[in-house]
Structure 1
């Protein structure tokens, strides 16, 4: 397999993706070329020209602040552990990373609003189904509008990645028909006595890629030399990072870059949309990225099972269910942080 170590970068590139929305194919190809370069060399980058309206983003932020200002009792009324499809409120300490430490944030986890009578929901597909919504005027409508806008941006990015990989721009569309793409509303409370500790620990993202809208600094990404690089705020831009599934599809050409959030003094909100493929999608290296007589760097992975396994190892309520024997990890489940720069640095150190 070709070298999988991206550059020892010190800052993130900015990619103008407005060309992906153009009716002119050359515009789309030009934007896709820059997108692919950033994905290969860094795996983490800003995107401008994204088309998500400022008013839509402002409504998201305003209503999120209203939600997290509710009492603990009101928020726990929609606790994620009450959900059958992993949707709802996540209190501080509920989520743990590979180091086993609970982090300091709170969250509201949402996804596509899939009705209970949908065939995939009736079949028991994990992560799909109705959301748990708080009782706040206008909340569901505004958040759903934002979800649709950022998911549409994700579709255009996915087509850009397809072009960058030498495939037809609609190559991946068949894998994204009803995906469990999660939107997280994250809140890192103010802490005037904060020390240098994680707000959320080091990890990669389990899906194809992530579209992040942050409101304050704190995000860090690991470069090819194993160094943590700060990700400053860039006005009117999204932060995009490659996830585990794109690393597999490209046989490591695109890297699922490890990242973390520092515990900072100022209050911080963050909004990642984890762009996933359909649960039953079997992801394995594309033929174009496996040389003749070369063994692929990754075996086939069922996308949903990978997402489920990682989630089951990082949420307390699911860990407790496993201890009680109520649920079990999918066959072939990987440990947390099995992809990305952190895993590669560890492998190099053990070699």
Structure 2
């Protein structure tokens, strides 16, 4: 299968103060997002990838069915009403063989304002037994913080297959870079300037570990759509999108499509 055009971009200037170097990186990201919609980010500064990978792999290799059920989200275990998103996602026969463990912001706790306000889809994380998995929570929270720093740097700039006009093409793997793509909300608020690339998991008849990191807006965030063609003379009403409504709708559509959360 042909290899998709997915450039590798050195993002280290984004952590510095040289505006010209940052602008050069921004132009590279802009070009990648308008092509296949994917790029590899190297020199990101995250030093714990190997330890994180091994920690998560050990967790999935050793977790028991009882432990999975204890942490299962409400879609599988209705009595876990406070865990619609955070927790364990069980494999579903003939639908998806994947099992997943999902966390949100580690700062969410009973005293957090968003938790006290019962903001939809904001939840306190559930964790496995620390005696059996002594470093799991520490490593996952550390990776969350490191990944968020990289995301912040990228967002200050304006194992998959990706669909192209020539059909689905492979994306080669990288041992030391993050594979990055924009989502549907970016396409929406850029008025289609940046396309959300259609992509899928490549089928291989072997075990595989994926470590995705998603960046969301606040639930109540409202964003006015922009267009690169906007000028002082542009007319027409601007569209405003509320992120929480968008995310809820996309989540329900994904459940409908996959038959699983």
**TM-score (norm. length: structure 2):** 0.85
Match of 1:93 in 2: 92
Which residue among 44, 50, 53 is the counterpart of 1:50?
Answer: 44
Which residue among 12, 16, 39 is the counterpart of 1:18?
Answer: 12
Aligned ranges for residues 259-278 of structure 1 at < 5 Å?
Answer: 259-278=199-218
CA contact (8 A) 2:222 2:243 kept: yes
Deviations along 1:290-341, one digit per CA (max 9) or x if unpaired, are 4624677xx432112211222234348xx89xxxxxxxxxxxxxxxxxxxxx
- Any idea what SS the aligned residue of 2:144 has? helix
Which residue among 103, 106, 110 is the counterpart of 2:99?
Answer: 106
How many residues align structurally? 244
Distance 2:223 2:65 in 1: 40
Match of 2:189 in 1: 249
Cα displacement (A) at 1:289 = 4.3
Does 1:37 find its partner at 2:37? Answer: no
Match of 2:139 in 1: 142
- Structure 2 unaligned regions, length at least 5: 75-79
Distance 2:154 2:250 in 1: 24
Does 1:76 find its partner at 2:76? Answer: no
Larger fraction in strand: 1
Does 1:117 find its partner at 2:114? Answer: no
Match of 1:61 in 2: 53
Deviations along 1:103-139, one digit per CA (max 9) or x if unpaired, are 2211001110201221111111122231011112111
**TM-score (norm. length: structure 1):** 0.64
Does 1:258 find its partner at 2:258? Answer: no
Cα displacement (A) at 1:11 = 2.1
Match of 1:158 in 2: 155
